[in-house]
Structure 1
Amino acid sequence: MNRNYFKSKLFMKYIWSYLFILLIPLILMTVFIYQNAVTNLRSEIEQSRLGQLTQTKVIIDGRMKELGEIASRISYDKRLTPFRVHDSYYSGEAIEALDQYKATSSIIGELFLYFHKDEKIYSAKGLSDFDVFASSFNFSNWSQEAVVQDLNDVKFPTMRPADTVIRNANMKESMLAYLVPITPYSPNPHGTIMYLIKESELTSLIDSVLGNYQGLTYILDNKGQILVDNRQGEALTNTEAKSLFGLSSGIHDKILNGKPHSIVSVTSENNGWTYVTVMPSSQFFSSVVHVRSFIVLLFIIVVLVGAAIALVLARMQYQPISTLVEFANSKSKPKLEIDKSAGSGNELDRIRTALQEYSSRIDLQEPYARNHFLSMLLKYGNAQSLAPELQEAFDIHFDRGSHFVMVIGWSEMEDERQERQELIELLAQIEFPELAAHAYGVELPQLDQIALIISFSHSQTEQPFTAVRHIVEAVRCIMLETFDVTPTIAVGTCYASPNQLNQSFIEACSAFELRAANGHGTVTYFENLLHTPDHTFWIPNNTLLKLSQSLKLGSYDVAAQIISPSIRSLQTSELSALLKRCICFDVLNTMLKTASELGIPHLTPDMAPNMIYSHSLDELENGLLQLASRICKQVERINKKEEQSQIDKIVSYIDDRYTDHTISLESIAFEFAISPSHVSRSFKEKMGLNFIQYIWQKRMDEVMRHLKTSNAPLKEIIVQVGYLDTPNFIRKFKKETGFTPGQYRKLYGENSQTLPASELDDDE
Structure 2
Amino acid sequence: MKKKTLSIKNLRFEFKSKTFYRYVFSYLLVFLIPFLFVSFVWYQTSTSSINQQIDLSAKNQLLQARTTLRDNFSQFDLITTQMRYNSLLTEKMATHPYYSSQTTKEIQAYKINSSVIEDMYLHFNDAPDKLFSSKGYLDVSTFIERRYDNFLIDEQALRGALATTVPVIQSVQQLDKDNALGLMFYIVPLTTEEGVIYGSVVYTMKMSDIQRWLDQKTAKVFLLDAKNRLVAASTEEKMPAFMNHPAELKQVLSQETVRSGKDKYRVSVVRDEDFDLTYLALTNSNSALSDVKAVQQGLLGIVLILLASGIAIVFFIGKRQYKPIQELEKLMEQQIGNATSDEESYDIHNIGSQVANFLQENKELHQEIRRQTPHAREQVLRKLLMGRFKDSKEISVLMQAVDVNLYKAGYFVMLVDTRMVTTETSIQNQEFLMSFLDEISGVDYQAYGSEMLSTQAIALLVSFEKGGQPSLIAKEIVAKIVLENVVAPAVGIGGIVHELSMINHSYIEGLAALEYQTLSGSSHKILLYKDIKHSNKNDFGGYPVDEQLKLRQSLQQGDLEIATETINEMVEKGVHEQQTLAGLKLYSYYLLNSISTTGIEIIGKNFYQEAEKIADFSNIFELQKGLLKMSEQICQAVQDNPKNEESQLQKDIFTYLNTHYASRDFSLESVAEEFEVSVSYLSRFIKKESGVTFSKYIQNLRLEKIKSDLVETDTPIKDIIAAAGYYDVSNYTRKFKSIVGMTPGQYREKNR
Q: TM-score, normalised by structure 1?
A: 0.37
Say which one has the larger Rg.
2
